Chains A and B, each alone.
Chain A
């Protein structure tokens, strides 16, 4: 009966980027990365954001994580409006909201040892760099304790994502934002990392925002989803509903374009991917 508190609220967010001038006479062209995005993520929810490249989902994430400034609009995290807060007032955000990035190759500093990478959020926030905590975290993500002594390039893509996850969990955040965490991974590794994320989110009672271009992955992981296209949210709803009966034409196109084993075995061909039909 009591309402679940809101973890993240985004109101009418706009982000414009000026581009260099192409002509002396006309004004500089502007890229509208976000054109008025609004959404609400409840505490403990698993919320997905789906969209193709250029839709603005990465920009949205960065603004929510205060790594970029909005042109207009509001971002409210756990009740605090962070939209115009200076860096020194964002400490609570840095402790409570952490990110896992997409590219296992470039999301870890190649010159740092794994234990320093994982401990970095702790060190930055003034907690003593505890070897104990690092070992705990390595165990939680399924890596051996001696992994801490090695360098990122000595690990596979899936293992690097685990290190990324361990780093994100170090300051004990309440909100985890994952930006395409499994897009660069093989199928069997993807399954392992998705399970890991799912388990950790359950165990630590985290709010999860999961961004992907792959609707099937989001469908498996998230309760609700927002579909983005060209800087706007075109549809929001419970994932199963959006997938089974997409309302917006873009969502319909997106859903039918995803090849699935199920449909292929039922006889779907490549031209069926282009039809705006109902998914099987």
Chain B
């Protein structure tokens, strides 16, 4: 009987709830999240508004619910872009000869050195600020960490005897990459993905805070934080709700990543 993996369970529940919230928000929210009702500005949490309202009279709970869509979208796109580019790059650099490999890694380092937020801002300026451009920018900025981690994992796999056996069986390099290297670096990918997801969510929040992320009126947890700035002392709840939401989302994805990595490692299945 496999022991229950707490990270997987807790992480899975958290992420599940966020996804559920996002899905539900498509069909129902307590109020229209974008509806401005000046009459109901800055209301405290009550039975009619569970989280209260913001400076435009918009219901905070509804904003949190709709904002979760942005958060998930952000995470998936950014990590997707980073993985789709970074993983092949890492494996490629582990398998080619010395000079091409060095070239790839130095180009990687260049990208790593470039501040991610600055990149996102530049993208925003050129292509117009929107969630999508911000996400692609963050994704690209996350490529170097994927590439490095995957490269070192791939190098280790290449040195094993089972890869030698595959070559002795006649396998060509690229089938080896797909059939042997990739499955054996998936645990690294999962962990890196959850870390990058967390970074992406925070980056979106920061960008929205700066005004370069999700443009109004689409709700975004990051922008909610930005808008709550002026009320930090009078109505701190306006910062706390989105802030805690971000923290819980990041935690959930990290735990999920750890749990998935352990769950799918065939060797950890029946330890003493």
Contact = CB atoms under 8 A, between A and B. Distances in A.
A and B directly contacting (CB within 8 A):
yes
Interface of A: 62, 65, 67, 87, 90-91, 94-95, 98-99, 101-103, 106-112, 117, 120-121, 124-125, 151, 153-154, 164, 167, 171
Contacts of B261: none
A111 B183 contact: yes
B162 A106 contact: yes
A182 to B, nearest CB: 15
Given A120-B166, A124-B170, A153 B267 contact: yes
Given A65-B168, A120-B166, 6 more contacts: A67-B164, A99-B168, A107-B160, A111-B180, A124-B166, A153-B269
Q: Most B CB atoms within 10 A — which of A90, A94, A109, A112?
A: A109
Interface in B6-33: none
B256 to A, nearest CB: 21
Contacts of B172: 87
A110 B162 CA distance: 9
Contacts of B269: 153
A214 to B, nearest CB: 19
B217 interface: no
Interface string B49-81: 000000000000000000000000000000000
A86 to B, nearest CB: 12
A65 B169 CA distance: 10
Contacts of A91: 170
A125 B168 CA distance: 11
Contacts of A117: 162
B225 to A, nearest CB: 42
B40 interface: no
A109 B170 contact: no
Contacts of B164: 62, 67, 99, 101, 107
A125 B169 contact: yes
Interface residues of B, number: 21
Contacts of A111: 180, 183-184, 186, 266
Nearest to B266: A151
Q: Most A CB atoms within 10 A — which of B161, B171, B172?
A: B161
B106 interface: no
A159 to B, nearest CB: 15
A125 B170 contact: yes
A42 B170 CA distance: 24
B162 A109 contact: yes
A98 B168 contact: yes
Contacts, number: 71
A109 B184 contact: yes
Contact of A106 (B161, B183, B186): B161
7 contacts: A101-B164, A102-B161, A107-B160, A107-B161, A108-B162, A111-B266, A171-B169
A239 B134 CA distance: 72
B110 interface: no
A167 B175 CA distance: 18
Given A109-B180, A110-B184, A151-B266, A94 B170 contact: yes
A111 B188 CA distance: 14
B160 to A, nearest CB: 5
B170 A101 contact: no
A81 B128 CA distance: 64
A107 B161 CA distance: 4
B162 A107 contact: yes
B108 to A, nearest CB: 21
A117 B162 CA distance: 9
Nearest to B270: A154
A124 B169 contact: yes
A117 B183 CA distance: 14
Q: Sort A-B residue pairs by CB-CB distance and give the 3 closest, nearest first.
A: A94-B170, A121-B169, A107-B161
Contacts of B175: 124
A108 B270 CA distance: 18
A102 B164 CA distance: 12
A111 B180 CA distance: 8
B169 A120 contact: yes
B1 interface: no
A110 B168 contact: no
Nearest to A93: B170
Interface string B240-272: 000000000000000000000000001101100
A67 B168 contact: yes
